[in-house]
Each structure stands twice: as structure tokens, then as C-alpha cells.
Amino acid sequence: MFGKFQRLWAKPPLKKSYDAVIIGGGLHGLATAFFLARNYGMTNVAVIEKRYIGFGGAGRNTAIVRANQRTQENLPLYKEGLDLWPILTKALDFNLMFYNCGNLNLAHSEAALKALRLQVTSAQIHGISSQLVDPKECKALIPALDISDRPTYPIFGGMYHPPGGIVRHDAVVWGLAKGAAKLGVHIHQQTEVTGIEVENQKIVSVDTSNGKISTPRVLNAAGGYSAAISYHMLGIRLPISVLTIQAMVTQPLKPLINHVVSSGAYHVYANQTLKGEIATGSHMDPWPNYTTQTSAYYIKHQAEALTKLMPCLKGVKFMRSWAGLADMTPDMAPIMDGNEPIEGYYMDCGWGYFGFKSSAVTGKYMAQFMSTGECPDILKPFTLRRFEQHRFMGETPAVVEYSPNN
Amino acid sequence: MSLTITCPICGKRNAYEFRYGGEDKGKRPEEVKLIPRAWCNFVHMNKSVAAIQKEWWCHQDGCSAWFAIYRDTTRNLEVSDPNEDESKVKA
């Protein structure tokens, strides 16, 4: 029944030089490495990971994927990202367990419904399936919902986005690592980047705990740690606040929630995993830190929110909780930039809690950026310079009442 | 998560009573001849250090006072001013 155990990726020694060094063995780093090797033939690439691949946000998110963001810059990127999951499953020959059950966002006020109307229209203009639904239709989608006027914030309607769903995040990590390694990419775990050397405004080398690597290109894809790396190693400040975001799962239940359900007013999103557990996350802890501590405060908050929305969940127990780091920008859109102010230095950070759903597609375009040195049109709006140019993306109100400060 | 903050008026309280007010970035830049990049640097750019940082807090659910503290972001603990002379602390 079981075949011979085989490693999914090799463990080669650290070379003295690489064509590109990627800091961070998370999904963005691994995806970029994979596409660099596959699409652009750049196989002399190292992914440097301080702990183990998928340690950070890649393995801590709630695995939700969707493409119903708000702004015209973000929508095409997320749409392509969503379309990529089945393609990637085949390309990697690895089951990513993409389950497109659809997402239902609930609105609890007229204002929230108006915001969703704008979001639905924006999605439809970009050819993304998304529609407004009334409370009865919400109930038809998820029978466990309480659509009466009993809850503090009754359900006014919702936004239903059928192509979204969930993807098994660990499988994406392993699949991409396997795919990249097969093409010749070196994945170095337990290797810490300790410094980045710059000469004449050009990247020359990267210092690691296992030796120096000379390279003309470095990608900062360290997720929650990217802002600290940027400041500590290069002195570049970024408009990022690193906040902890907590998530938890309940005990396994029979099939109950057959769509991803979320509510801005209750600050909750939930989906039932294929194992039957209800995985749920909430808002971020509102002060920056680099711990991944959890707290009773949020367990209580989640329990209250979930049982208000779905009263039948009363008495169901949480099994475990965990936390991850979210690198939040003021407009809740990422920073993808390169060769400015240092030639050969690329950044792919500030993803906040959108890093998972965008990982594959971002890897594809960052690979194009790094191999050609020219920023692809689709990534141009995400430049770091937009903040001083007062060109904020306006993703902040994408989910009503969500911002880094509330 | 567990964090206590010492309000200069109310004393040590649960951090969920407070609102984080950002890293201490020094004096607000002069508005005369202020260029967008300098303003952006002051308003948006953060060091996000994995170390001790000076930061602002407001006791939102208490006395509403604004004050600065030092906190270790890697341990999520309020600490004393690292620049302060040790002899002064003892005295």
C-alpha cells in the first residue's frame, strides 16, 4: 500500500554563488523560484529559509481563496491567481485540494450592503462571478445562518462569489518546493540570512548562517519578517505594521457550512475543512509584535461571533488555536517593487492577510520581473512610491469596518 | 494576547484597553517647504524593528491620556527605557 519513502526535494550543499537568492521559504518565495526556473530557465536559484518551509504565513492562514477584492488594480491579479489553482495542480502533479465551494460575505447594515454592491459591480466588470444575495438566499446557501432580527446585527444580505473556496495550504508549499527543486532550485532550510551587502547601490552578496553567497539579485519574500529584514539589513523603512492574527479550529462536525462565510461587522470568517473542523479567524491584535501568541480574548470573540451567526454551533468546542504575522500596509494592498533604490533588490511584501490567495500568481509575475529586470504592467501600481504620491489603493473598505486600526 | 501597559495616570492595565499610536518618529516635520517624500516618511514609514522600540499609546477605554513607552516586539513585553542611565534607575 505504501511506496518507498522518497524526499520531495533534495538537500544540496550551499553554493558560493547563485543567480538569484530568495529570502523566505514561504509560498511567495517558493512560487517565484518555481516560475523563475520553469518560465525563464533561471535554475541557479536559492531559497533561504531560517526555519522550515511553510513555517510562517504559508502554514498559518485559513486557506481561503477568492477574487472579489475591490480595486481595478487588485482584481485582475487575484482573478488570475484564482484561475491558477487547477492549472498549478496539474503543472506540479501535486493535489492542492482546491475546493471551490464559493464565498459568502454577509452585510449587517444598509451601508455594508451598498459597499458590497460596489464590490460586486467591480468584480463583474472584470469578468469575475460575484452577485448580491438577499437574506433568504443567504439562508438557502448556508441553512445554519440565523437570518431573523434576533442577533445584535441582523443579516441584511450578502455577496456570493462562487469561484472562491479553499486550498490546502501545506500542499501548495510542498508542491511548489517539489516542483522548484525538480527544476534545479536549491532550498536551504535552517539557514538564516544575516546580512545583505550592497556596493555602489547594487546587490553583491548575501550573508547567511552557513556562509556568504554572491548574487546579483535578492528577493525579500519574508512575509511578516520582511519589514524588519528591510530595515535591519538595508536601512529601508517600509509602510508596514506587523500585526498578529489569530485563528482556531473547532472539533470536527458533520458537513454544516458548505461555503466560506464571513462577516465584517462580526469580524469573523469561517469555513468547514474537508476534515469537518470549522476553521475560523478574526481580526488582528491591534499592536505590532513578532510573537505568535494567542489569547482567550479572541477565542471568546470567535465563539460569540460564530454562535450569533449560526446559533446551532453553541456548545461546540475549539480544539486548538494559533497565530501568524500579517504585514499590513496603510491601504491593505501589497508592495511589489524592484531595482529601486538598490539595483538587484526586489521586494514582495506587505501582503497582510491576503498573501495566501495571491501567492501563485505573484510568484509568476515576480519571476518575470526578476528575470527581465522590467516590472510587468500588472505589478506597476504596487510600487513603494505610491505612498508618497498619495495613490492609495483603496482596498481598506473592501470588507466593511476592517482596517489596521480597528 | 497578554500585554500590560503602564498608563502614567491609571497604572498597569490590560493592553486591550489601549490604542496603539505608532512608533515614535520624533518631531513632526516643519510644514514650510515640506516635500511629499518627507511627509510620507514621517506618516507611513516604519522601522518595524524586531527589538525594543519607543512607541505611543492612548488609554482609549480609560483616562484618554497619550504617552510613550518602550516595548520589546520580539517578546511582547513593556520594558524600561534602554537609554536610561542604570544608576538613575537604582536611585
Q: Could you give the angle at the alpha carbon of A362 between the alpha carbons of A359 and A365, nearest 5°?
A: 155
Using the Cβ of A242 and the Cβ atoms of chain B, whether some distance falls under 8 Å is answered with: yes
Q: What is the mean pLDDT of residues B68-90?
A: 84
ipTM value, please give it. 0.91
The rounded distance, in Å, linking the Cα atoms of A403 and A396 is 6
CB contact B68 to A (< 8 Å): no
Band of pLDDT at residue B68, cut at 50, 70 and 90: very high
Interchain CB contact of A231 with B (< 8 Å):
yes
| pLDDT band with cut points at 50, 70 and 90 for residue A399 | very low
Binary contact (A232, B15; C-beta < 8 A):
no
Chain B CB within 8 Å of residue A288 CB: yes
Chain A contact present for B75, CB below 8 A:
yes
Asked if A365 reaches chain B (Cβ–Cβ under 8 Å), the answer is no
Q: Give the CATH number for residue B81.
A: 3.30.2270.10
Bond from prior residue into A163 cis (ω within 30 degrees of 0): no
Of B41, B45, B48, the CB nearest to A242: B48
Segment A262-285, tens digit of pLDDT: 998 898 999 999 999 999 998 888
- Looking at residue B2, what is its pLDDT? 84
Distance from the B87 Cα atom to the nearest Cα atom in chain A, whole angstroms: 30
Taking CB atoms and an 8 Å limit, are A387 and B19 in contact across chains?
Answer: no
Minimal-distance CA residue of chain A relative to B39: A388
Q: Say yes or no: A52 contacts chain B, CB-CB below 8 A.
A: no
Q: What is the pLDDT of residue B86?
A: 61
* Ordered domains of chain A (ranges, CATH): 20-67+169-239+331-398 (3.50.50.60), 100-165+241-328 (3.30.9.10)
Cell of A292: 505568535
Share of chain A above pLDDT 90, in %: 89
Q: Is the pLDDT of residue A246 over 60?
A: yes
Which chain A residues are within 8 Å of B50, Cβ to Cβ?
225, 228, 232, 290
Q: Do B50 and A388 touch (CB under 8 A)?
A: no
Question: What's the rounded mean pLDDT across residues A7-15?
Answer: 94
| Chain B residue with minimum CA distance to A330 | B44
Residue B90 has pLDDT above 90, yes or no: no
Q: What pLDDT, on a 0 to 100 scale, did the predictor assign at position A403?
A: 43
| Cβ separation A291–B37 shorter than 8 A | no
Backbone angles phi, psi at A189, to 5 degrees: -90, 170
Is pLDDT above 60 for B89?
Answer: no
CB atoms under 10 Å from CB of B12, counted, come to: 9
Compare A400 and A41 and report the one with higher pLDDT: A41
Could you read off the pLDDT of A48-64 as tens digits, one per residue? 999 999 999 999 999 99
pTM of the model: 0.95
Pairwise CB contact (< 8 Å): A323 & B46? no
Q: Indicate if the pLDDT at residue A39 is higher than 80.
A: yes
Which pLDDT score is estimated for A293? 92
- Residue B55, CA atoms < 13 Å, CB-side half-sphere: 29
**pLDDT per position as a tens digit, A61-76:** 999 999 999 899 999 9
pLDDT digits (tens, 9 = 90+) for A305-338: 999 999 999 999 999 999 999 999 988 899 999 9
Determine whether A300 is exposed, middle or buried from the number of CB atoms within 10 Å of its CB (0-12, 13-18, 19+): exposed
**Would you call B16 an interface residue with chain A, using a CB distance cutoff of 8 Å?**
yes
Q: Are B47 and A231 within 8 A, CB to CB?
A: yes
Q: Where are the beta strands (DSSP E) in A24-102?
A: 45-48, 64-65
* Average pLDDT of chain B, as a whole number: 91
Residue B87: the pLDDT is 54
The three-state secondary structure class of A182 is helix
Q: What is the pLDDT of residue A1?
A: 57
Kindly state the cell numbers that stand for A227. 519589514
Distance CA A248, CA A76 (A): 31
pLDDT of residue A402: 43
Beta carbons of A239 and B46 less than 8 angstroms apart: yes
* Residue in B with minimal Cα distance to A331: B44
Is the pLDDT at A348 greater than 70? The verdict is yes
| B87 contacts chain A (CB < 8 A) | no
- pLDDT cut 70: percent of chain A above it: 97
Q: Determine whether the interchain pair A387/B15 forms a contact, defined as Cβ–Cβ distance below 8 Å.
A: no
pLDDT for the residue A73: 94
Average pLDDT over residues B56-74: 96
Report CB contact under 8 Å: B76, A289.
yes
Torsion angle (degrees, nearest 10) of CA A361, A364, A367, A371? -140
Of B2, B16, B41, the CB nearest to A293: B2
A289: which chain B residues are within 8 Å (Cβ-Cβ)?
Answer: 1, 71, 73-74, 76
Residue A327's Cα: distance from chain center in Å? 10
Average pLDDT value for residue range A130-134: 97
Query: Can you give the pLDDT at residue A396?
Result: 66
Residue B85 has pLDDT above 70, yes or no: no
> How many domains in chain B?
1
- List the single range of A155-164, A170-179, A323-332 with lowest mean pLDDT: A323-332
Distance, in Å, from the CA atom of A316 to the CA atom of A216, rounded to the nearest integer, reads: 54
In percent, how much of chain B has pLDDT > 70?
A: 92
B contact residues 25-64, partner A, Cβ 8 Å cutoff: 36-37, 39-41, 44-50
Q: What mean pLDDT do residues A283-296 have?
A: 90
Amino acid A360: pLDDT: 97
- Spatial neighbors of A370 by CB under 8 A, at least 6 apart, are A20, A32, A36, A42, A217, A219, A338, A346
Higher pLDDT, A264 or A125: A125
- What is the residue-averaged pLDDT of chain A? 94
Q: Which domain holds residue B57?
A: 4-90
pLDDT at A11 over 90: yes
Cβ pair A237:B47 closer than 8 A? yes
| Contact flag B36-A388 (C-beta cutoff 8 Å) | yes
A323 vs B contacts (CB less than 8 Å): 1
